[in-house]
């Protein structure tokens, strides 16, 4: 069950605390990459770029002073949780951290709608991470305050996809015309599914490089194909590496393989090393949603094309932009 | 053992940081509903009402800027913990969140007085939730900074009782003259015991509706009777519903019943539904301390008489008032 | 493996956000007591004393407004974590609390360098507590932002040693000429090892009082001896108590003893009681890193010589000083 139908741009007449309706994002939820068109992305990334410049210049500023974010994590994700906390604090706002939902009375039998309607009494915006697909949309259905989906099961993780795209834009200056190669476990990786969908808004070429048992799912390929995006499927990274502008690496988990020998063979061929990367362009970038566990050699970290830690920083700016937008302050 | 004798209004000559002694609440502990007289409540609710107006107008303000709250939770209570965090942050103060006491070195053999005397070095006020009755009073005995009891075992949870009463006042405009019906598990519910005691300061009529095995305890009934408050005990909600101004619903737990059939029968008769509520007044309210697990049908949520989510919000204002008062800033 | 060689004062050309290079501590790591000379300590304690005066006068001030601390605790330590949180908040800064690393994706296979390089994208300074010796130095090797060691295994806990020394200075006015007696488990106590090393920068006399099986390690004694500091080793507290200016008590753990009778005998002789302390000077002080579990009788707490809770407060000021110094704001 997906509940994305209920996402629809809200008007939120009850939004509190003297805010003015500054733009089309005020009071909205961020639930799915499907809710954005290209103009949306352009605007969000402009705001994110402004955030980047402000952070570099002054570190922190009081755009959201007095605003409170509830960071509601039903499963642990230190990386995403910390990123949202930092985003809110760099904007001068405060955070109610709820990381221990598994142990808490909130989780004991209480429905998600009830939890959300309680927490929105205390805060101005709620970021939710939940193991069940559709839970962010369910939360949004009942909330009067904006909901930001920080990952709901195998469903969506829209802020990750947005930060991935913003990284490409900031690093390479444009998206149209690029060849983007996705590498690793393309079957289970929520990240690459969302990114592929979002990239259909641009004029790009996509390569999918994975072990045969971990291919990009057919429904993603069909969806992308319907937008006339060129797609190439292969198991051989060497073949597409020279033409690649963006190499998006994901982790291949040993547990996916029945035969450990197949895993070992596959794993080796997909490890990014300085030597392998001599065959890639000089002005391309390597991305990874992190954490990595060996897919990219640490020896490659000092290469200017290694963009994966900068990617974390771009995530901060995108989340600052989203918080400011839905609170009507950007 | 109760330690309430040691609650007594302190003078706290050591209170720090240039605060002026603004009123009778400055430096005091909030340990038990027994410490309040009617004038106290009137004053606290006036301040809470001001907090409500300020939050609605500006969201957050800097009344407690520079003040630090330690939120010391020996057992998880996301709802109460978040409410105090939000209260402090809406007043411009900061929070040291300690939610993991069970796993921490603080709990390993260290006495509560030592923990308190350490944490008060860092903060200006301490909110404590502890599984043992009397622990908040024990903390207060050793602390130089104000202690607020956020629930100590089967003992007290005074801020819950205060927010319940404030909800009635804000929703109905007055307390005197009302008929208040308490429903559900009245035997084990700390909440209804404290509320009944607090209501003896007003001229009200109380109905207790519960399964026969979960009655209001005799000592509460005696205490209330000594104040000449009219009380009615029944198992039949229908009988008292039409005259009820405030219906205070609590959860009936299956584990309390030996015979599951008795439970099923009882449970059904105490579920608040839109149909049942056609027999109630138009200008009454339904309250619940939350979380609920079926005692109130979600279909009733949109009824204007459903006050339980607004109740959460009133809790924020009451806790803001208490923090401001004990820190000498209200 | 120790990694202290890599501590070395960094230049950090990449330090962010418009800070000026105000002094020699700007951008530095705090990893080990070995990095400080006496002039360093004098300066740090001057700043800590200023912090103390500011806190007493105004409670909180905005020296680090806009700065963000990541509090990265791989093992729980409520006391140290809360102290750093309070230090940052009293300076007007914000905190990203990461207390749940054991349960988080950060810990699942991700290397410490990767975790650090992610978190420094979000924050201006990182405090790290980690069970493995050398981990703070490893973090510093990869970080562009300052790292403060809040305890790494049996290695170092430099801010504890600094606050211990600052306590002596504030309580007694000077360090040179004092007789300092360390009592209890001197074999496994990280705290007394660091303090002994730091005291070699002053002209003091040291007494080590411990059960025979828990002596000060030979390498510490040799290191101290090389600095021409007088040291006395004994099992008899009574012998050295009358001459003691600072009695530093640590916990003796039952688990260290094979024979419970030996433990009981030893334990009794090392409990600080009002009666025992009649044999000590009037102007000496008793310290303890806390938590205590019986080594100091609660009856002694009201004695003016009992400095162990004040010691916690001095810790706040030292940590405020260190945060301000490494962020170039002191």
Contact criterion met (CB < 8 Å) for B78 and A114: no
Does residue C107 register a pLDDT over 80?
Answer: no
Class of domain B4-157+316-326: alpha beta
Cβ neighbourhood burial of C203 (10 Å; 0-12, 13-18, 19+): middle
Residue numbers in C near B65 (CB within 8 A):
60
Instruction: Judge: domain C4-157+315-326, CATH 3.40.50.1370.
Output: yes
CA distance C50 to C45: 8
pLDDT the model gives residue C15: 34
Say which residue the tokens 């309430």 belong to: B4
Are B161 and B187 within 8 A, CB to CB? no
Q: Does the CB of A123 have a partner CB in chain B at under 8 Å?
A: yes
- Tell me the mean pLDDT in the region A149-175: 95
A92 touches chain B (CB under 8 A): no
Instruction: Return the minimum-mean-pLDDT range out of B125-134, C133-142, C148-157, C249-258.
Output: C249-258
Distance CA C289, CA B105 (A): 13
| CA A192 to each of CA A154, A211, A221: distance values in angstroms, whole numbers, following the listed order | 12, 15, 12
Question: Inter-chain contact B290–A66, Cβ cutoff 8 Å?
Answer: no
Chain A with chain C: Cβ pairs closer than 8 A: 82
- What's the token pair of residue B127? 């909110």
Q: Does A297 touch chain C (CB under 8 A)?
A: no
CA distance to partner chain C, nearest, from residue B142 (Å): 11
pLDDT of residue B2: 32
Per-residue model confidence as pLDDT tens digits over A46-105: 999 999 999 999 999 999 999 999 999 998 888 999 999 999 999 999 999 998 666 555
Weakest-pLDDT range from A244-253, A287-296, B102-111: B102-111
Closest CA to B171 of B9, B22, B311, B302: B311
Query: Which of C18, C104, C106 is facing A58, going by the closest CB pair?
Result: C18
Considering Cα of B83, then B84, then B85, then B88, what sign does the dihedral take?
A: positive
CB within 8 Å: A110 and B298: no
Residue-level pLDDT at A186? 94
CB contact under 8 A, B18 and C57: yes
Provide the strand spans (E) within chain A: 68-73, 94-98, 125-130, 147-152, 179-183, 205-209, 230-234, 246-249, 285-287
Residue C253: what pLDDT?
Answer: 78
pLDDT value of position A14: 36
The CA distance from C13 to the nearest CA of chain A, in Å, is 14
R_g over Cα of chain B: 20
To the nearest whole Å, the CA of B2 is away from the closest chain C CA by: 21
Is the model's pTM score more than 0.80? yes
* Residue whose structure tokens are 């035969």: A259
The class (CATH top level) of A4-158+314-326 is alpha beta
Q: How far is CA B264 from CA A115, B258, B270, B292, in A?
A: 26, 11, 10, 17
pLDDT < 70 positions in chain B: 1-23, 100-108
Listed residue (C187, C186, C190) closest to C154, CA to CA: C190
Kindly state the helix (H) or strand (E) to which residue A259 belongs, with its residue range.
none
Residue with tokens 């079926």: B294
Binary contact (A67, B77; C-beta < 8 A): no
B6 vs A307, higher pLDDT: A307
- Residue B170 has a CB neighbour count (10 Å cut-off) of 19
Select the residue from C53, C55, C59 to test the B interface by mutation, using most B Cβ atoms within 10 A.
C59
Residue B100: the pLDDT is: 64
Query: For residue A104, what pLDDT is reported?
Result: 56
* pLDDT at position A33: 93
pLDDT at residue B88, rounded to an integer: 98
Counting Cα atoms < 13 Å in the Cβ hemisphere of C172 gives 27
Q: Is C253 near chain B, with CB under 8 Å?
A: no
**Which secondary-structure segment (H or E) carries B41?**
helix B38-58
For chain B, the average pLDDT equals 89
**Tokens found for residue C154:** 């049996």
Distance from CA of B79 to the nearest CA of C (A): 19
Alpha-carbon Rg of chain A, whole angstroms?
Answer: 20
Name residue C317's beta-bridge partners.
Answer: none
Asked whether the domain spanning C159-312 has the same topology as the one spanning C4-157+315-326, the reply is yes
Question: Across the interface, which of C90, C293, C309 has its CB nearest the CB of B118?
Answer: C309
**SS3 for C215?**
coil
DSSP structure string for C272-287: B-TTGGGGS-SS-EEE
Q: Which of B76, B83, B99 sits opposite A122 (nearest CB)?
A: B83
With CB atoms and an 8 Å threshold, state whether B290 touches A118. yes
Under the banding of pLDDT at 50, 70 and 90, the label for residue C103 is: low
Strands (E), A145-269: 147-152, 179-183, 205-209, 230-234, 246-249
Cα separation, C172 vs C83, in Å, equals 23
pLDDT single digits (tens) B22-52: 457 999 999 999 999 999 999 999 999 999 9
pLDDT of amino acid A114:
95
* pLDDT tier at A108, thresholds 50, 70, 90: low
Decide if C75 touches A, using CB distance below 8 A. no
Mutation site, A89, A96, A131, interface C, largest C CB count within 10 A: A89
- Subunits next to B (3 or more Cβ pairs <8 Å) are A, C
CA of B96 to nearest chain C CA: how many angstroms apart? 6
Instruction: Kindly determine whether residue C85 and residue B67, on different chains, have CB atoms separated by under 8 Å.
Output: no
- Domains of chain A by residue range: 4-158+314-326, 159-312
Q: Considering chain C, what is the average pLDDT of its residues?
A: 89
| Sheet containing B94-98: order of strands | B94-98, B68-73, B125-130, B147-152
| Percent over 70 (pLDDT), chain C | 90
Q: Which value does ipTM take for this structure?
A: 0.89
**Parallel/antiparallel/unpaired status of strands A246-249 and A230-234:** unpaired
- C109 vs A: CB within 8 A: yes
Residue the block writes with tokens 């970290």: A301
CB B256 within 8 A of CB B213: yes
User: Which positions in chain B touch A123 (Cβ < 8 Å)?
Assistant: 86
For residues A136-142, give the mean pLDDT: 97
**What is the end-to-end Cα distance of chain B in Å, rounded?**
34
Residues 30-59 of C with CB under 8 A from B: 55-59
Helix axes of C190-199 and C158-172: crossing angle, nearest 10 degrees: 60
Q: What are phi and psi of A222, to 5 degrees?
A: -65, -45
Rounded Cα distance between B143 and B114, Å, is 10
Q: What values do phi and psi take at B136, rounded to 5?
A: -65, -40
Of C95, B58, C100, nearest in space to A88 by CA = C95
Worst-scoring range by mean pLDDT, A35-49, A103-117, A227-241, C30-44? A103-117
Q: How far apart are CA B99 and CA C131, in angstroms?
A: 21
Determine the pLDDT at residue A15.
34
- Secondary structure class of C209 (helix, strand, coil): strand
What pLDDT sits at residue B99? 82
Whether the Cβ atoms of residue B320 and residue B87 lie closer than 8 Å to each other: yes
Per-residue confidence (pLDDT) for residue B273, from 0 to 100: 97
Name the CATH architecture for the domain at C159-312: 3-Layer(aba) Sandwich (3.40)
* Chain A CB contacts of C94 below 8 Å: 60, 89
Q: Which of C306, C250, C238 is nearest to C274 (CA)?
A: C306
What is the model's pLDDT at position C4? 32
Pairwise CA distance, residues B93 & C326, whole Å: 25
Burial B124-163 (b: 16+ CB within 10 A, else e): bbbbbbbeeebbbbbbbbbbbbbbbbbbbbebbbbbbbbb
Q: Is C264 on the interface with B (CB under 8 A)?
A: no
Cα A210 from Cα A278, distance rounded (Å): 21
Q: Say if C20 is an interface residue toward chain A (CB within 8 Å).
A: no
Tens-place pLDDT, residues A8-62: 233 333 333 233 344 579 999 999 999 999 999 999 999 999 999 999 999 999 9
Q: How many CB atoms sit inside 10 A of residue A75's CB?
A: 15
Tracing tokens 């000092």 back to the chain, one arrives at: A302
* Dihedral sign, Cα of residue A307, residue A310, residue A316, residue A318: negative
- Considering only the beta carbons, identify the residue of C59, C85, C312 that sits closest to B16: C59
Q: Name chain B contacts of A119, Cβ cutoff 8 Å.
A: 82
Q: For tokens 């200017």, name the residue.
A: A304
Question: What's the rounded mean pLDDT across residues A312-320?
Answer: 98
Q: What is the largest CA-CA distance in chain B?
A: 63
> Which residues from B are below 8 Å from A16, CB to CB?
56, 59
The verdict on a CB contact (< 8 Å) between C60 and B70 is: no
Q: Is any Cβ of chain A less than 8 angstroms from the Cβ of C119? A: yes
For chain B, say whether C191 makes contact (Cβ under 8 Å): no
Residue A233 DSSP one-character state? E
Percent helix, strand and coil across chain A, each to the nearest 5: 40, 15, 45
Cβ A159 vs Cβ A226: under 8 Å: no
DSSP for B91-135, written as a single string: TT-EEEEE--GGGSTTTSS--HHHHHHHHTTT-SEEEEEESSTTH
Size of interface A-B (CB pairs under 8 A): 82
Burial class (CB in 10 A: 0-12, 13-18, 19+), B284: buried
pLDDT the model gives residue A103:
52
């Amino acid at each position: 069950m997906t509940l994305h139908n209920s996402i629809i741009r809200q008007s939120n007449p009850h939004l509190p605390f003297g805010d003015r309706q500054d733009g089309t994002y005020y009071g909205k939820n961020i639930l799915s990459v499907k809710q954005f068109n290209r103009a949306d992305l352009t605007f969000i990334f402009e705001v994110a770029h402004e955030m980047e410049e402000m952070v570099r210049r002054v570190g922190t500023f009081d755009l959201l002073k007095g605003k409170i974010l509830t960071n509601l994590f039903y499963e642990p994700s230190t990386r995403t949780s910390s990123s949202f906390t930092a985003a809110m604090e760099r904007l001068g706002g405060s955070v109610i951290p709820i990381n221990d939902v598994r142990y808490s009375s909130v989780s004991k039998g209480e429905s998600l709608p009830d939890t959300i309607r309680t927490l929105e009494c205390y805060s101005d915006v709620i970021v939710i991470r939940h193991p069940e697909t559709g839970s962010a949309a369910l939360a949004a259905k009942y909330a009067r305050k904006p909901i930001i989906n920080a990952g709901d099961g195998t469903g969506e993780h829209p802020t990750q996809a947005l930060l991935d795209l913003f990284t490409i834009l900031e690093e390479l200056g444009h998206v149209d015309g690029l060849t983007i190669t996705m590498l690793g476990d393309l079957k289970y990786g929520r990240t690459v599914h969302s990114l592929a969908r979002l990239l259909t808004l641009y004029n790009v070429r996509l390569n999918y490089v994975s072990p045969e048992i971990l291919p990009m799912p057919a429904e993603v390929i069909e969806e992308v194909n319907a937008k006339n995006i060129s797609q190439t499927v292969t198991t051989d990274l060497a073949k597409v590496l020279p033409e690649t502008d963006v190499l998006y690496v994901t982790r291949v988990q040993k547990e996916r393989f029945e035969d450990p020998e197949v895993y070992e063979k596959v794993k080796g061929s997909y490890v990014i090393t300085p030597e392998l990367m001599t065959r890639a362009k000089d002005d391309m970038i390597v991305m990874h949603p992190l954490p990595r566990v060996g897919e990219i050699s640490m020896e490659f970290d000092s290469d200017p094309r290694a963009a994966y830690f900068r990617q974390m920083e771009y995530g901060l700016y995108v989340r600052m932009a989203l918080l400011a937008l839905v609170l009507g302050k950007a």
